[in-house]
Protein backbone atom coordinates (compact mmCIF):
# COMPACT_ATOMS: atom_id res chain seq x y z
CA UNK A 1 0.00 0.00 0.00
CA UNK A 2 1.39 3.29 -1.14
CA UNK A 3 0.94 5.55 1.84
CA UNK A 4 1.92 2.90 4.30
CA UNK A 5 5.22 2.36 2.61
CA UNK A 6 5.94 6.02 2.49
CA UNK A 7 5.02 6.49 6.11
CA UNK A 8 7.27 3.61 7.04
CA UNK A 9 10.26 4.99 5.23
CA UNK A 10 9.69 8.54 6.34
CA UNK A 11 9.31 7.27 9.89
CA UNK A 12 12.71 5.71 9.66
CA UNK A 13 14.05 8.96 8.36
CA UNK A 14 15.79 6.72 5.91
CA UNK A 15 14.96 8.35 2.63
CA UNK A 16 18.48 8.27 1.34
CA UNK A 17 19.31 4.74 2.37
CA UNK A 18 16.07 3.49 0.92
CA UNK A 19 16.82 4.95 -2.46
CA UNK A 20 19.54 2.37 -3.08
CA UNK A 21 16.77 -0.20 -3.48
CA UNK A 22 16.57 -1.40 -7.03
CA UNK A 23 20.09 -0.43 -8.00
CA UNK A 24 21.48 -2.96 -10.46
CA UNK A 25 24.50 -4.95 -9.37
CA UNK A 26 27.79 -3.27 -10.11
CA UNK A 27 29.64 -4.59 -13.12
CA UNK A 28 31.18 -3.21 -16.25
CA UNK A 29 33.78 -0.52 -15.94
CA UNK A 30 36.99 -1.26 -14.13
CA UNK A 31 37.59 0.78 -11.04
CA UNK A 32 34.03 0.42 -9.83
CA UNK A 33 30.67 1.72 -10.86
CA UNK A 34 29.34 5.24 -10.69
CA UNK A 35 25.99 5.59 -8.99
CA UNK A 36 24.98 8.90 -10.51
CA UNK A 37 25.25 10.61 -13.88
CA UNK A 38 25.39 14.31 -14.63
CA UNK A 39 25.44 15.72 -18.16
CA UNK A 40 26.64 19.29 -18.57
CA UNK A 41 26.16 20.94 -21.95
CA UNK A 42 27.53 24.12 -23.51
CA UNK A 43 26.84 25.12 -27.10
CA UNK A 44 28.33 26.23 -30.40
CA UNK A 45 31.59 24.28 -30.57
CA UNK A 46 35.07 25.41 -29.82
CA UNK A 47 38.35 26.65 -31.27
CA UNK A 48 40.56 23.62 -30.94
CA UNK A 49 43.82 25.52 -30.77
CA UNK A 50 42.54 27.34 -27.69
CA UNK A 51 40.89 24.30 -26.15
CA UNK A 52 43.59 21.63 -26.40
CA UNK A 53 45.89 20.90 -23.49
CA UNK A 54 49.57 20.62 -24.31
CA UNK A 55 51.62 17.49 -23.65
CA UNK A 56 50.75 13.81 -23.62
CA UNK A 57 48.26 11.52 -21.99
CA UNK A 58 49.40 11.97 -18.41
CA UNK A 59 51.88 14.84 -18.52
CA UNK A 60 49.50 17.28 -20.14
CA UNK A 61 48.94 20.78 -18.90
CA UNK A 62 46.54 23.59 -19.68
CA UNK A 63 48.32 26.45 -21.45
CA UNK A 64 47.90 29.88 -19.91
CA UNK A 65 44.82 31.58 -21.29
CA UNK A 66 43.40 28.39 -22.81
CA UNK A 67 39.76 27.44 -22.47
CA UNK A 68 40.22 24.55 -20.05
CA UNK A 69 42.71 26.31 -17.79
CA UNK A 70 40.07 27.10 -15.12
CA UNK A 71 39.90 23.33 -14.53
CA UNK A 72 43.55 23.06 -13.52
CA UNK A 73 42.71 22.46 -9.85
CA UNK A 74 40.59 19.46 -10.80
CA UNK A 75 43.06 18.07 -13.32
CA UNK A 76 43.35 14.70 -11.59
CA UNK A 77 39.60 14.10 -11.85
CA UNK A 78 39.40 14.77 -15.60
CA UNK A 79 39.58 12.71 -18.76
CA UNK A 80 39.91 15.11 -21.69
CA UNK A 81 38.53 13.59 -24.89
CA UNK A 82 40.12 15.11 -27.98
CA UNK A 83 39.30 13.90 -31.47
CA UNK A 84 35.84 12.49 -30.90
CA UNK A 85 33.70 12.45 -34.04
CA UNK A 86 29.94 12.28 -34.54
CA UNK A 87 30.07 10.18 -37.70
CA UNK A 88 27.44 10.71 -40.36
CA UNK A 89 26.11 13.99 -38.96
CA UNK A 90 27.05 17.61 -39.19
CA UNK A 91 25.82 21.07 -38.35
CA UNK A 92 24.00 22.52 -35.36
CA UNK A 93 20.83 20.49 -35.52
CA UNK A 94 22.43 17.24 -36.52
CA UNK A 95 25.00 17.57 -33.77
CA UNK A 96 22.43 18.43 -31.13
CA UNK A 97 20.23 15.48 -32.10
CA UNK A 98 23.06 12.93 -32.24
CA UNK A 99 25.05 14.17 -29.25
CA UNK A 100 23.46 12.11 -26.49
CA UNK A 101 21.47 9.66 -28.60
CA UNK A 102 24.32 8.32 -30.72
CA UNK A 103 21.94 8.64 -33.66
CA UNK A 104 20.02 5.64 -32.43
CA UNK A 105 16.60 4.43 -33.47
CA UNK A 106 14.41 1.37 -33.23
CA UNK A 107 16.49 -1.77 -32.94
CA UNK A 108 19.52 0.04 -31.50
CA UNK A 109 20.53 0.07 -27.87
CA UNK A 110 18.62 2.97 -26.37
CA UNK A 111 16.05 3.05 -29.20
CA UNK A 112 16.97 6.66 -29.86
CA UNK A 113 16.82 7.74 -26.21
CA UNK A 114 19.57 10.01 -24.95
CA UNK A 115 22.17 8.40 -22.73
CA UNK A 116 20.89 10.15 -19.60
CA UNK A 117 17.39 8.76 -20.14
CA UNK A 118 18.74 5.30 -20.93
CA UNK A 119 20.77 5.30 -17.74
CA UNK A 120 17.82 6.72 -15.79
CA UNK A 121 15.69 3.84 -16.94
CA UNK A 122 18.21 1.46 -15.40
CA UNK A 123 19.13 3.21 -12.18
CA UNK A 124 16.47 5.88 -11.66
CA UNK A 125 13.41 3.76 -10.99
CA UNK A 126 13.53 3.88 -7.20
CA UNK A 127 14.30 7.59 -6.91
CA UNK A 128 11.50 10.12 -6.61
CA UNK A 129 12.59 11.52 -9.97
CA UNK A 130 14.06 9.17 -12.56
CA UNK A 131 15.96 12.15 -13.92
CA UNK A 132 15.95 15.93 -13.82
CA UNK A 133 16.50 18.08 -16.89
CA UNK A 134 17.58 21.57 -15.85
CA UNK A 135 18.22 24.38 -18.27
CA UNK A 136 19.70 27.86 -18.34
CA UNK A 137 17.88 30.03 -20.88
CA UNK A 138 17.07 27.13 -23.17
CA UNK A 139 13.47 27.89 -24.09
CA UNK A 140 13.08 31.29 -25.75
CA UNK A 141 12.71 29.48 -29.09
CA UNK A 142 10.44 26.81 -27.63
CA UNK A 143 11.42 23.17 -27.44
CA UNK A 144 12.85 21.73 -30.66
CA UNK A 145 15.77 19.79 -32.04
CA UNK A 146 18.05 22.78 -31.53
CA UNK A 147 16.99 23.56 -28.00
CA UNK A 148 16.67 20.10 -26.44
CA UNK A 149 19.23 17.35 -25.86
CA UNK A 150 17.40 14.69 -23.83
CA UNK A 151 15.22 12.20 -25.65
CA UNK A 152 12.78 9.70 -24.14
CA UNK A 153 12.90 7.80 -27.43
CA UNK A 154 13.66 8.56 -31.05
CA UNK A 155 12.25 11.94 -31.99
CA UNK A 156 10.67 12.58 -28.58
CA UNK A 157 12.69 15.28 -26.86
CA UNK A 158 12.14 16.23 -23.25
CA UNK A 159 11.62 19.75 -21.95
CA UNK A 160 14.05 21.49 -19.63
CA UNK A 161 13.06 23.23 -16.43
CA UNK A 162 14.57 26.71 -16.84
CA UNK A 163 13.23 28.41 -13.73
CA UNK A 164 15.10 27.63 -10.50
CA UNK A 165 12.13 28.58 -8.32
CA UNK A 166 9.96 26.05 -10.15
CA UNK A 167 12.64 23.39 -9.86
CA UNK A 168 12.83 24.04 -6.15
CA UNK A 169 9.08 23.79 -5.74
CA UNK A 170 8.88 20.60 -7.73
CA UNK A 171 11.85 18.79 -6.21
CA UNK A 172 12.05 20.16 -2.69
CA UNK A 173 8.62 21.65 -2.18
CA UNK A 174 6.93 18.43 -1.12
CA UNK A 175 5.84 18.47 2.50
CA UNK A 176 8.68 17.12 4.56
CA UNK A 177 7.20 16.51 7.97
CA UNK A 178 6.18 12.88 8.39
CA UNK A 179 2.51 12.64 9.30
CA UNK A 180 1.62 16.14 8.21
CA UNK A 181 2.19 15.03 4.67
CA UNK A 182 -0.37 12.29 4.70
CA UNK A 183 -3.47 14.34 3.86
CA UNK A 184 -1.83 15.94 0.91
CA UNK A 185 -0.40 12.60 -0.23
CA UNK A 186 -3.74 10.85 0.03
CA UNK A 187 -5.35 13.61 -2.02
CA UNK A 188 -2.72 13.39 -4.69
CA UNK A 189 -2.90 9.62 -4.83
CA UNK A 190 -6.66 9.52 -5.24
CA UNK A 191 -6.54 12.19 -7.95
CA UNK A 192 -3.76 10.38 -9.79
CA UNK A 193 -5.82 7.18 -9.80
CA UNK A 194 -8.76 9.03 -11.27
CA UNK A 195 -6.66 10.79 -13.90
CA UNK A 196 -5.13 7.52 -15.07
CA UNK A 197 -8.60 6.04 -15.52
CA UNK A 198 -9.69 9.10 -17.47
CA UNK A 199 -6.69 9.10 -19.80
CA UNK A 200 -7.05 5.36 -20.41
CA UNK A 201 -10.75 5.83 -21.28
CA UNK A 202 -9.98 8.75 -23.55
CA UNK A 203 -7.36 6.68 -25.32
CA UNK A 204 -9.89 3.93 -25.93
CA UNK A 205 -12.21 6.35 -27.73
CA UNK A 206 -9.53 8.39 -29.55
CA UNK A 207 -8.27 7.68 -33.06
CA UNK A 208 -4.98 5.85 -33.38
CA UNK A 209 -3.22 9.05 -34.39
CA UNK A 210 -3.68 10.37 -30.85
CA UNK A 211 -2.54 7.24 -29.01
CA UNK A 212 1.13 8.16 -28.73
CA UNK A 213 0.22 11.45 -27.10
CA UNK A 214 -2.04 9.77 -24.56
CA UNK A 215 0.48 7.00 -23.90
CA UNK A 216 3.06 9.66 -23.01
CA UNK A 217 0.50 11.31 -20.74
CA UNK A 218 -0.16 8.00 -18.99
CA UNK A 219 3.58 7.43 -18.56
CA UNK A 220 3.88 10.85 -16.95
CA UNK A 221 1.05 10.09 -14.51
CA UNK A 222 2.56 6.73 -13.56
CA UNK A 223 5.89 8.42 -12.99
CA UNK A 224 4.17 11.02 -10.80
CA UNK A 225 2.80 8.20 -8.70
CA UNK A 226 6.33 6.95 -8.10
CA UNK A 227 7.49 10.45 -7.28
CA UNK A 228 4.75 10.98 -4.75
CA UNK A 229 5.13 7.62 -3.06
CA UNK A 230 8.92 7.58 -2.93
CA UNK A 231 10.84 8.21 0.27
CA UNK A 232 10.60 11.76 1.51
CA UNK A 233 13.27 14.38 1.75
CA UNK A 234 13.52 14.73 5.51
CA UNK A 235 16.62 16.69 6.37
CA UNK A 236 16.95 17.95 2.83
CA UNK A 237 15.18 21.26 3.20
CA UNK A 238 16.68 23.82 0.88
CA UNK A 239 15.89 27.49 0.70
CA UNK A 240 14.14 28.58 -2.46
CA UNK A 241 16.53 30.38 -4.78
CA UNK A 242 15.95 34.08 -5.20
CA UNK A 243 16.84 35.83 -8.41
CA UNK A 244 16.95 39.52 -9.11
CA UNK A 245 16.03 39.08 -12.78
CA UNK A 246 13.47 37.14 -14.76
CA UNK A 247 15.07 33.73 -15.40
CA UNK A 248 14.55 34.24 -19.14
CA UNK A 249 16.53 37.50 -19.25
CA UNK A 250 19.93 37.40 -20.91
CA UNK A 251 21.73 38.93 -17.95
CA UNK A 252 20.23 36.35 -15.59
CA UNK A 253 22.34 33.64 -17.26
CA UNK A 254 25.06 33.43 -14.56
CA UNK A 255 22.64 33.60 -11.63
CA UNK A 256 20.23 31.04 -13.11
CA UNK A 257 23.12 28.73 -13.89
CA UNK A 258 24.51 28.97 -10.37
CA UNK A 259 21.10 28.35 -8.80
CA UNK A 260 20.48 25.36 -11.07
CA UNK A 261 23.87 23.83 -10.22
CA UNK A 262 23.13 24.21 -6.50
CA UNK A 263 19.72 22.60 -6.96
CA UNK A 264 21.22 19.81 -9.04
CA UNK A 265 23.85 18.96 -6.43
CA UNK A 266 21.26 19.11 -3.65
CA UNK A 267 18.90 16.84 -5.57
CA UNK A 268 21.68 14.27 -5.97
CA UNK A 269 22.82 14.58 -2.37
CA UNK A 270 19.29 14.12 -1.06
CA UNK A 271 18.54 11.11 -3.21
CA UNK A 272 15.84 12.90 -5.17
CA UNK A 273 17.40 11.64 -8.38
CA UNK A 274 20.45 9.81 -9.69
CA UNK A 275 20.50 11.32 -13.15
CA UNK A 276 20.53 15.02 -13.89
CA UNK A 277 21.47 17.28 -16.74
CA UNK A 278 22.26 20.95 -16.98
CA UNK A 279 21.94 22.53 -20.39
CA UNK A 280 23.43 26.00 -20.84
CA UNK A 281 21.61 27.77 -23.67
CA UNK A 282 21.32 25.61 -26.79
CA UNK A 283 22.92 25.15 -30.16
CA UNK A 284 22.85 28.45 -32.10
CA UNK A 285 22.24 30.02 -28.68
CA UNK A 286 22.51 33.83 -28.86
CA UNK A 287 23.37 34.59 -25.22
CA UNK A 288 25.43 37.77 -24.85
CA UNK A 289 28.09 37.45 -22.15
CA UNK A 290 27.48 41.00 -21.03
CA UNK A 291 28.96 40.27 -17.60
CA UNK A 292 32.30 39.77 -19.34
CA UNK A 293 31.93 42.99 -21.31
CA UNK A 294 31.16 41.14 -24.55
CA UNK A 295 28.66 42.68 -26.99
CA UNK A 296 28.11 39.90 -29.54
CA UNK A 297 25.91 36.86 -29.07
CA UNK A 298 27.67 33.57 -28.32
CA UNK A 299 26.70 32.00 -31.65
CA UNK A 300 28.12 34.97 -33.56
CA UNK A 301 31.29 34.77 -31.47
CA UNK A 302 31.62 31.10 -32.36
CA UNK A 303 31.93 32.07 -36.02
CA UNK A 304 34.80 34.53 -35.77
CA UNK A 305 37.68 33.58 -37.99
CA UNK A 306 41.23 33.35 -36.60
CA UNK A 307 42.07 36.61 -38.35
CA UNK A 308 39.61 38.40 -36.10
CA UNK A 309 41.75 38.36 -32.97
CA UNK A 310 39.44 40.50 -30.87
CA UNK A 311 36.49 38.27 -31.77
CA UNK A 312 38.41 35.08 -31.04
CA UNK A 313 39.54 36.54 -27.75
CA UNK A 314 35.94 37.27 -26.78
CA UNK A 315 34.89 33.73 -27.69
CA UNK A 316 37.72 32.22 -25.66
CA UNK A 317 36.77 34.33 -22.66
CA UNK A 318 33.19 33.09 -22.96
CA UNK A 319 34.39 29.48 -23.21
CA UNK A 320 36.66 29.93 -20.20
CA UNK A 321 33.65 31.20 -18.31
CA UNK A 322 31.84 27.95 -19.12
CA UNK A 323 34.90 26.03 -17.89
CA UNK A 324 34.71 27.99 -14.63
CA UNK A 325 31.10 26.92 -14.24
CA UNK A 326 32.07 23.30 -14.85
CA UNK A 327 34.82 23.68 -12.24
CA UNK A 328 32.25 25.07 -9.79
CA UNK A 329 29.95 22.12 -10.36
CA UNK A 330 32.79 19.63 -9.83
CA UNK A 331 33.85 21.46 -6.67
CA UNK A 332 30.31 21.37 -5.27
CA UNK A 333 30.15 17.64 -5.93
CA UNK A 334 33.57 17.18 -4.33
CA UNK A 335 32.51 19.11 -1.23
CA UNK A 336 29.34 17.08 -0.77
CA UNK A 337 29.63 13.82 1.12
CA UNK A 338 28.03 10.80 -0.53
CA UNK A 339 25.47 9.55 1.99
CA UNK A 340 25.81 6.02 0.64
CA UNK A 341 29.54 5.44 0.41
CA UNK A 342 31.10 7.97 2.69
CA UNK A 343 33.29 9.41 -0.04
CA UNK A 344 32.49 12.59 -1.91
CA UNK A 345 29.58 12.85 -4.27
CA UNK A 346 32.06 13.37 -7.09
CA UNK A 347 33.60 9.97 -6.34
CA UNK A 348 30.31 8.29 -7.16
CA UNK A 349 29.07 10.64 -9.87
CA UNK A 350 30.19 10.48 -13.47
CA UNK A 351 30.05 13.93 -15.03
CA UNK A 352 30.06 14.41 -18.79
CA UNK A 353 30.67 17.82 -20.32
CA UNK A 354 29.23 17.35 -23.78
CA UNK A 355 29.16 19.67 -26.75
CA UNK A 356 27.42 19.36 -30.10
CA UNK A 357 29.99 20.77 -32.55
CA UNK A 358 33.70 20.61 -33.13
CA UNK A 359 35.01 23.77 -34.72
CA UNK A 360 32.08 26.16 -34.48
CA UNK A 361 33.22 28.13 -37.48
CA UNK A 362 32.81 25.12 -39.73
CA UNK A 363 29.51 23.77 -38.37
CA UNK A 364 31.13 20.37 -38.20
CA UNK A 365 30.74 17.53 -35.75
CA UNK A 366 34.33 16.41 -36.03
CA UNK A 367 36.69 16.47 -33.08
CA UNK A 368 33.91 17.47 -30.72
CA UNK A 369 35.43 18.54 -27.40
CA UNK A 370 34.14 16.44 -24.52
CA UNK A 371 35.37 16.07 -20.95
CA UNK A 372 34.59 13.34 -18.45
CA UNK A 373 35.05 13.85 -14.74
CA UNK A 374 34.56 12.08 -11.46
CA UNK A 375 33.10 8.66 -10.86
CA UNK A 376 35.22 5.59 -11.34
CA UNK A 377 37.17 6.94 -14.32
CA UNK A 378 40.93 7.03 -13.93
CA UNK A 379 41.47 10.77 -14.18
CA UNK A 380 44.38 13.02 -14.99
CA UNK A 381 44.37 11.94 -18.61
CA UNK A 382 44.34 13.65 -21.96
CA UNK A 383 43.21 11.26 -24.68
CA UNK A 384 43.83 11.95 -28.34
CA UNK A 385 41.33 9.77 -30.10
CA UNK A 386 41.82 10.51 -33.78
CA UNK A 387 38.20 10.32 -34.90
CA UNK A 388 36.78 7.70 -32.54
CA UNK A 389 32.98 7.49 -32.82
CA UNK A 390 31.19 9.16 -29.95
CA UNK A 391 28.91 6.16 -29.65
CA UNK A 392 31.86 4.47 -27.91
CA UNK A 393 31.95 7.13 -25.22
CA UNK A 394 28.19 6.80 -24.71
CA UNK A 395 28.72 3.04 -24.39
CA UNK A 396 31.47 3.67 -21.82
CA UNK A 397 29.19 6.01 -19.89
CA UNK A 398 26.43 3.40 -19.76
CA UNK A 399 28.91 0.76 -18.57
CA UNK A 400 30.38 3.09 -15.96
CA UNK A 401 26.89 3.42 -14.56
CA UNK A 402 26.60 -0.34 -14.33
CA UNK A 403 24.58 -0.97 -17.47
CA UNK A 404 26.18 -3.79 -19.36
CA UNK A 405 25.94 -2.98 -23.04
CA UNK A 406 28.17 -3.57 -26.04
CA UNK A 407 27.01 -0.53 -27.99
CA UNK A 408 24.96 2.61 -27.78
CA UNK A 409 22.97 4.32 -30.50
CA UNK A 410 23.64 3.58 -34.14
CA UNK A 411 26.13 0.68 -34.12
CA UNK A 412 27.12 1.15 -37.76
CA UNK A 413 29.59 3.86 -36.74
CA UNK A 414 31.18 1.94 -33.92
CA UNK A 415 30.47 -0.52 -31.12
CA UNK A 416 32.06 -1.35 -27.82
CA UNK A 417 33.30 1.11 -25.22
CA UNK A 418 36.19 3.46 -25.79
CA UNK A 419 39.16 1.17 -25.17
CA UNK A 420 41.14 3.94 -23.50
CA UNK A 421 38.47 4.26 -20.81
CA UNK A 422 38.58 0.58 -20.02
CA UNK A 423 42.15 0.68 -18.77
Partner 1 sequence: MTRHHRVLLVLLAGCQGVIGAGGPDPDERTRDDARADALGEPCAAELEVFERTVWRPLLAVRCAGCHQAEGPAASTRMVFVDEEADDALATNYRAARRAAVADADGLALLLAKPGGVHSGGHQGGALLALDSIPAADARAFVASARTETCDPPPPLDCSAPPPGSPRLRRLTPAEYDATVADLLGIPSEAGATFPADEVRHGFDNAAEALVVSSLFADQLRLAAEELAERAPIAALTECGAGCGAESFVRAFGERAFRRPLTEVEVGRYVGLAAGAPEPSEGARLVVEAMLQSPHFLYRRELGVPDGSAQVLDGWEIASQLSYLLWGTMPDQALFAAARDGTLETLAGIETETRRLLASPRAVTARRRFVTRWLGLDRLATVAKDEATYPGFDPARRAALADAALAAIDEVLAREGTLDALLTASMPGSDDRRGLLELEAVLAVHARPNDSSPIHRGLFVRERLLCQELPPPPPGLVVEPPPVDPTRTARERYAAHSSAQPCEGCHRLIDPIGFAFEGFDGVGARRSAVVDLDGAIVGSLDSDGAIRGTTELGAHLAAGDEVADCFTLQWFRWAYGADVDERSRCQLEALRERFRGAHRSVDDLLVALATAPHVRRRGGE
Which of 236/288 has CB closer to partner 1? 288
Q: Which is nearer to partner 1, 77 or 168 (CB)?
A: 168
Query: Which pairing describes strands 36-41 and 349-354: parallel, antiparallel, or unpaired?
Result: parallel
Closer residue to partner 1 in complex, CB, 21/295: 295
CB 329 → partner 1: shortest distance, Å?
A: 21
Query: Which residues are 161's β-sheet partners?
Result: 134
Minimum gap (Å) between residue 369 Cβ and partner 1 = 17
386: enclosing H helix or E strand: strand 381-389
Give per-residue burial for 344-368: e unless 16+ CB within 10 Å, then b: ebbbbbbbbbbbbbbbbbebbbbbb
| Cα angle value 280/283/287 (rounded, 5°) | 55
Nearer to partner 1, 41 or 304 (CB): 304
Which is nearer to partner 1, 306 or 335 (by Cβ)?
Answer: 306
Q: Which is nearer to partner 1, 251 or 422 (CB)?
A: 251
Return the closest-CA partner of residue 302 out of 247, 248, 356, 370: 356
Give min distance, CB of 218 to partner 1, in A: 9
Per-position DSSP letters for 274-291, written without gaps between them? SEEEEEES-TT---B-GG
Q: CA-CA distance, 287 to 310, in Å (whole number)?
A: 18
Give the closest residue to 175 by CA, choosing from 187, 184, 167.
184
C-alpha–C-alpha distance, residues 375 and 400, integer Å:
8
Q: To the nearest whole angstrom, how small is the minimum distance from the Cβ of residue 339 to partner 1?
A: 24
Query: How far is it, in rounded angstroms, from Cα 177 to Cα 156?
Result: 37
Nearer to partner 1, 159 or 416 (CB): 159
What pairs with residue 135 in β-bridges? 279
- Taking the complex as a whole, how short is the minimal distance between the CB of residue 324 and partner 1, in angstroms? 21
- Give the shortest CB-179-to-partner 1 separation in angstroms: 16
Rounded to a whole number of angstroms, the minimum distance from the CB of residue 238 to partner 1 is 17
Amino acid sequence: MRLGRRRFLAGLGAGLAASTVGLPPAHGAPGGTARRLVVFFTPNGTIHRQWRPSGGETDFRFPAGSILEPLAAQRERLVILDGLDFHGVSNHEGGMAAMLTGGGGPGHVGEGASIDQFVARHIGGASPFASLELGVLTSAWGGNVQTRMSYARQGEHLPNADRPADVHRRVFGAVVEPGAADDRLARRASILDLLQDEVADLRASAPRSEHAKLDAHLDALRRAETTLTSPGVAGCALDAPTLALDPGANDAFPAVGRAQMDLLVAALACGQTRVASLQWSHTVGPVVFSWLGIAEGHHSLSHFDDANTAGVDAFVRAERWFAEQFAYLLQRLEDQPDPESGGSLLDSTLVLWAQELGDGRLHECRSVPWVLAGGPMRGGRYLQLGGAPHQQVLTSVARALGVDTESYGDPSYGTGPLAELES
